[in-house]
Structure 1
Amino acid sequence: MLSSITRPKVKQFMGEYQFDLLVIGGGITGAGIALDAVTRGLSVALVDMQDFAAGTSSRSTKLVHGGLRYLKQMELKIVSETGKERDIVYRNALHVTEPERMLLPFHKGGTFGKLTTSAGLFVYDKLAGVKKDERREMLTADETLEMEPLLKEEGLMGGGHYVEYRTDDARLTIEVLKKASQKGALCMNYMKVEKFIYSDKKVRGAIIRDMLNGGQLEVNASVIVNATGPWVDEMRGKDQISNDKRLKLTKGIHIVIDQAVFPLRQAVYFDTADDRMIFAIPRGNKAYIGTTDTFFDGDPSNPIANEEDITYLLESIHYMFPTIKVERKDVESTWAGVRPLIYEEGKDASEISRKDEIWQADTGLITIAGGKLTGYRKMAETVIDQVVKKFPTTSFGPCVTEFLPLSGGEFDNEDHFETFLESKANESLLYGLTKEEGRQLASLYGTNVDTILNYVNAVSTEKSLLPTLWKAEVLYAVHHEMAMTPSDFFIRRKGDLYFNIGFVKHYKEEVTSYMAALLSYDAETSEAHLKQLEQHIKEAECKGGA
């Protein structure tokens, strides 16, 4: 179980056992590697110096997409692989992914024309193995405006309509980790690798510092995989031998605007005045817009949006949606993420390939870098194919993750999922919730929702300023998702810092107090965690902060 309460016991065991594999990095790539390995029969430990998914894996455009942009760059293999992988991700995690119809308008003189859009989407359908009912359709200018009336009418020639998949990137990562944990992997957040341990010039373990209490432990493993995303080069620098591969970091930012100001009806993928491509996506009663693509050389642990980034996206909205008069004050929240890309000489930020690469040092340290959220499962399979070769006398099973539902995703098909949502919406009335609350819970937690409902029942008589439903979700995050701080809860477990920031500001003290009681924070720790959350709020609002 991925529990904050049992964390000391997991930590003790991690320091006493000889593992087959130590995975460094608890983002989507590391999580996928841990799940693939443990389901083949390897003993697995995973550590991350921050919270799980706190890096790139909670800061993306939140799409499991097939890589249409890479068709433009003629990276056909990436289009084919990611297109097929996104269907696997969707099938195994229906509760955290959903189809999102995307509109690609084309204007006179724009990046895309009718023929290139039609041909491109046709090839995309074929390469990505798109299901028949999700294949592209071409629209006239009038049909395009009917789908999204806010679009710029001047020069509009039509549009392409195709399907992408929307997700919650952090929750997807957490569900992968929960499944790995259920299968026997030991996973811990806030555990930083300080240095490697060697035997016969080969990496055989690591000294790891607990970032919450400062203690250290030694973790021994036959093989170590470095899946630290933007920190890949830093981790390789702790190793004895390196090679000439290195990363180039790029930053992307997104802004969130209320639908009352930007009543976006339809997700749109559009080109800007400077021929960049931007997404505008409705999500609940909000719309979010991104992403930018600029080189980044700051601290990857906490990238933030700057005013130049925000102005660029606001100008992009004005360019494609000229009747919408959004202003800086309308931006409710922002997030920024760093992409760890393999360095390519002479290419600008948007041109560098998103392909993944795996390489191995003479010490045996395996590193994976680059890649996309959509391709995490296939990347993990490729890594573990290499890992098992290091055990020539041991027979491990085949990769099984293609047909392995993630935690909470145990559904036969989309119809089964919809029936489940309706059933839980009705059942939630028995717990004093509304049908809408029940449906939202079921869609967020999937088949794990019964545990939440049991917590709702257990705390319903407690007197507290914190609503019963929120207490139940905090309990679940602590007991089943290793949330250690209120920031973990609000940002990575719920996503509310971005899409419900008013609620975070209103309940930040109550959630901190409730978690303090559950996790025995002292007064100093409580204050530190609250200040950290308040800093994240400032940064999301771009109202100061480091």
Structure 2
Amino acid sequence: MARSIILYDLKDKEVDVLVIGGGITGAGIALDAASRGLSTALVDMQDFAAGTSSRSTKLVHGGLRYLKQFEVKMVSEVGKERAIVYENGPHVTTPEWMLLPIYKGGTFGKYTTSMGLRVYDFLAGVKKSERRKMLDASTTLEKEPLLKKEGLKGSGYYVEYRTDDARLTIEVIKKAVEFGARAVNYTKAVDFLFENKKINGVKVVDQLTGKAFNLYAKKIVNATGPWVDFVRRYDLSRNGKTLKLTKGVHIVIDQKRFPLKQAIYYDTPDNRMVFAIPRDGKTYVGTTDTFYEDDLANPLITNSDRDYLLQTINHMFPTIQITSEDIESSWSGLRPLIHEEGKHPSEISRKDEIWVSDSGLITIAGGKLTGYRKMAETVVDLIGSSLKKEIGKKIPSCRTKRIAISGGDIHDLDRFIEEQVSHAQKFGLTKEEVRILAKQYGTNLEKVFSILEENSHLNKYQLPKNLFGALIYCIEHEMVVKPSDFFIRRTGALYFNLNQVEQSKEKVLNFMSNYYKWSLKETELNKKELEQQLKNAKTSY
């Protein structure tokens, strides 16, 4: 509700740092900068996390496969960051034991897997309770009976962390706002402003109203992921490396059809690696890795993408024989990688790089979701040393290692959920509904309960109470302005609970239309956009 007020307050005023891009990288930079006392603003032309940061494999993982490419420093840094991401947001990140099956003639041998995981434990500083175990074939099949038995020699067993990538991003942005940052979605940077050939501001256009504003900043960061090179076109002194985009595809299957008990990281007949992960009654599988050059905002799944993943599933889990008709939903995301001539998509390094153009524009590209906090620290350190030289302003060192993100101040999630269940009885919520809400909103669940208590008179649309409370909370505290924001990036329902979306989409649309006082035209546009997103999610079958 405060979008226009925030933009008006920022208009023609100078902040210390302006971040373009509201994915996990931009969110991390905004939090780091704001927590060090820098006045900070963040804009995104779409919704927060609408690009890569809602379309990943949804793992905060340490990059085990990068050991094969001898990227030891990356494995060490990213591996250690996994635990920090988890500790700062335990409601949106969960430890997940991962099974790495070893087959005769496969990518990984028993000895190399054992040594690789041991080195991984050492480099990543894995705590004792989560260190790797080596399992024989029979124990492996006990863990996951659906695995192919032929040629199975055993497995490695180690911990990764499963996350909700979009919710992680939103919670980081909300924490930045708690520290004074101002963040606005659907606000597109359309040009840079210059003074003496140095960038000192950005012209932005509110995508909902069409109004243009000039925003000024001492330092401007381009953290737009797949759009990095596009934004750099506005920079008169464009230089540095370019991006190469690769596409990753994921498909979702109901557990009644694919009853996977255990998360699996398996190699394919063409020597790639794919994840199969159980989540809330579904199993999702991904990812692919192919070069991509089409529509950045809507990367779609092709028949060959779909068929490739189905072949890998049926090769590794031969008794279930999944077909395209079994796919409930899907998503596709883009990885912005630093271009390396002549390399296959899966061989290009996932490391991040930062460069500063002659105009002063700071660009960050590449990197992994897991390393977002460290990437942000590096960018803000760079900003700090630059501000010290230019205006004598000294900023404190990074604090985010020990800052819980919004909703993340929880020491024991299971205990927290149990405590909230009794509180939720008066609203008629089930334990499962409370569990899902707690994993989405953490300690902010108490605000959801307050909303249910204070706004029951508004629920004339007869929305389920858990959905009703979440919707108002997301409108009032998470800048949801479209139904697709709510169903995709605030709840993940469009990927993992399509039935809920189908059953409640008209009610949510009508509620939002009334709440925001949309015209008939605005209501119809939002309805069409949601229907298109539903269609995109179903393109796999």
Q: Which amino acid in structure 2 is aligned with residue 409 of structure 1?
A: G
1:225 matched residue in structure 2: 221
Deviates further, 83-92 or 426-435: 426-435
Q: For 2:431 and 2:284, locate their aligned partners in 1 and report how far apart those are by CA, in whole Å.
A: 26
1:483 matched residue in structure 2: 480
Pick aligned residue for 1:530 from 527, 530, 533: 527
Q: Which amino acid in structure 2 is aligned with residue 520 of structure 1?
A: K
After superposition, give the CA deviation of every residue in 1:135-194 in whole Å (9 maximum; x if it has no partner). Answer: 000000000000000000000000000000000000000000000011100100001111
1:513 equivalent in alignment to 2:507:
no
Pick aligned residue for 1:450 from 434, 446, 453: 446
Q: Which amino acid in structure 1 is aligned with residue 406 of structure 2?
A: S
Q: For 1:333 and 1:172, locate their aligned partners in 2 and report how far apart those are by CA, in whole Å.
A: 21
Deviates further, 514-523 or 20-29: 514-523
User: The residue matched to 2:100 in structure 1 has which SS?
Assistant: strand
User: The residue matched to 2:346 in structure 1 has which SS?
Assistant: coil
Pick aligned residue for 1:380 from 376, 389, 414: 376
Residue 418 of structure 1: CA displacement? 2.3
1:370 matched residue in structure 2: 366
1:410 equivalent in alignment to 2:409:
yes
Q: Which amino acid in structure 2 is aligned with residue 297 of structure 1?
A: E
Pick aligned residue for 1:139 from 135, 140, 145: 135
2:243 matched residue in structure 1: 247
Q: For 1:211 and 1:77, locate their aligned partners in 2 and report how far apart those are by CA, in whole Å.
A: 41
Q: For 1:78 and 1:327, locate their aligned partners in 2 and report how far apart those are by CA, in whole Å.
A: 37
Q: For 2:223 and 2:78, locate their aligned partners in 1 and report how far apart those are by CA, in whole Å.
A: 19
State the TM-score, normalizing by the size of structure 1.
Answer: 0.97
1:212 matched residue in structure 2: 208
8 Å Cα contact 1:459/1:471 also seen in 2:
no
Residue 107 of structure 1: CA displacement? 0.4
User: The residue matched to 2:107 in structure 1 has which SS?
Assistant: coil
After superposition, give the CA deviation of every residue in 1:18-59 in whole Å (9 maximum; x if it has no partner). Answer: 101110000000000000000111101100000000000000
Residue 430 of structure 1: CA displacement? 2.2
1:396 matched residue in structure 2: 395
1:275 matched residue in structure 2: 271
2:493 matched residue in structure 1: 496
User: The residue matched to 2:347 in structure 1 has which SS?
Assistant: coil
Q: For 1:259 and 1:434, locate their aligned partners in 2 and report how far apart those are by CA, in whole Å.
A: 21
1:112 matched residue in structure 2: 108
8 Å Cα contact 1:47/1:188 also seen in 2:
yes
Q: For 1:71 and 1:97, locate their aligned partners in 2 and report how far apart those are by CA, in whole Å.
A: 24
Deviates further, 462-471 or 421-430: 462-471
2:165 matched residue in structure 1: 169
Residue 209 of structure 1: CA displacement? 0.6
1:295 matched residue in structure 2: 291
Q: For 2:64 and 2:421, locate their aligned partners in 1 and report how far apart those are by CA, in whole Å.
A: 36
Residue 284 of structure 1: CA displacement? 1.1
8 Å Cα contact 1:82/1:375 also seen in 2:
yes
Deviates further, 84-93 or 464-473: 464-473
After superposition, give the CA deviation of every residue in 1:198-256 in whole Å (9 maximum; x if it has no partner). Answer: 11110000110111111100001111000000000011111001124100000000000
Residue 385 of structure 1: CA displacement? 0.4
8 Å Cα contact 2:301/2:540 also seen in 1:
no
1:339 equivalent in alignment to 2:340:
no
Show structure 1 runs of 5+ residues with no match. Answer: none
After superposition, give the CA deviation of every residue in 1:289-322 in whole Å (9 maximum; x if it has no partner). Answer: 0000000001111111111101000010000000
Q: For 1:99 and 1:244, locate their aligned partners in 2 and report how far apart those are by CA, in whole Å.
A: 38
8 Å Cα contact 1:252/1:338 also seen in 2:
yes
- Percent identity over the alignment is 57
Q: Which amino acid in structure 2 is aligned with residue 204 of structure 1?
A: N
After superposition, give the CA deviation of every residue in 1:361-385 in whole Å (9 maximum; x if it has no partner). Answer: 0000000000000000000000000
Q: For 1:507 and 1:297, locate their aligned partners in 2 and report how far apart those are by CA, in whole Å.
A: 35
After superposition, give the CA deviation of every residue in 1:448-486 in whole Å (9 maximum; x if it has no partner). Answer: 001101112233353323222212111011000001100
Show structure 2 runs of 5+ residues with no match. Answer: none
Q: For 1:379 and 1:252, locate their aligned partners in 2 and report how far apart those are by CA, in whole Å.
A: 22
Deviates further, 437-446 or 369-378: 437-446
User: The residue matched to 2:415 in structure 1 has which SS?
Assistant: helix
Q: For 2:240 and 2:399, locate their aligned partners in 1 and report how far apart those are by CA, in whole Å.
A: 34
1:429 matched residue in structure 2: 425
Q: For 2:187 and 2:460, locate their aligned partners in 1 and report how far apart those are by CA, in whole Å.
A: 35
Number of residues paired by the alignment? 537
Q: For 1:343 and 1:99, locate their aligned partners in 2 and report how far apart those are by CA, in whole Å.
A: 33
Q: For 1:460 and 1:483, locate their aligned partners in 2 and report how far apart those are by CA, in whole Å.
A: 20
2:21 matched residue in structure 1: 25
Residue 442 of structure 1: CA displacement? 1.7
Moved over 6 A (4+): none
1:440 equivalent in alignment to 2:439:
no
8 Å Cα contact 1:459/1:468 also seen in 2:
no
8 Å Cα contact 1:194/1:209 also seen in 2:
yes
8 Å Cα contact 1:37/1:44 also seen in 2:
yes
8 Å Cα contact 2:250/2:332 also seen in 1:
yes
Residue 391 of structure 1: CA displacement? 1.5
Q: Trace 1:7-156 onto structure 2 (pairs within 5 A).
A: 7-156=3-152
Q: For 1:460 and 1:117, locate their aligned partners in 2 and report how far apart those are by CA, in whole Å.
A: 55
Q: Which amino acid in structure 2 is aligned with residue 507 of structure 1?
A: S
1:472 equivalent in alignment to 2:469:
yes
Q: Which amino acid in structure 1 is aligned with residue 186 of structure 2?
A: Y
Pick aligned residue for 1:181 from 177, 183, 197: 177
Q: Which amino acid in structure 1 is aligned with residue 33 of structure 2?
A: A
8 Å Cα contact 1:425/1:436 also seen in 2:
no
Residue 517 of structure 1: CA displacement? 1.5
User: The residue matched to 2:166 in structure 1 has which SS?
Assistant: helix
User: The residue matched to 1:390 in structure 2 has which SS?
Assistant: helix
User: The residue matched to 2:48 in structure 1 has which SS?
Assistant: coil
8 Å Cα contact 1:36/1:400 also seen in 2:
yes
Q: For 1:469 and 1:428, locate their aligned partners in 2 and report how far apart those are by CA, in whole Å.
A: 10
8 Å Cα contact 2:324/2:540 also seen in 1:
no
User: The residue matched to 1:235 in structure 2 has which SS?
Assistant: helix
After superposition, give the CA deviation of every residue in 1:253-285 in whole Å (9 maximum; x if it has no partner). Answer: 000000000000000000011111000000011
Q: Which amino acid in structure 2 is aligned with residue 395 of structure 1?
A: K
Taking structure 1 as reference, are residues 300 and 107 closer, same or farther at Cα in structure 2, changes over 3 Å only? same
Residue 543 of structure 1: CA displacement? 6.9
Q: For 1:133 and 1:355, locate their aligned partners in 2 and report how far apart those are by CA, in whole Å.
A: 28
Deviates further, 317-326 or 505-514: 505-514
Residue 439 of structure 1: CA displacement? 2.5
Q: For 2:61 and 2:522, locate their aligned partners in 1 and report how far apart those are by CA, in whole Å.
A: 40
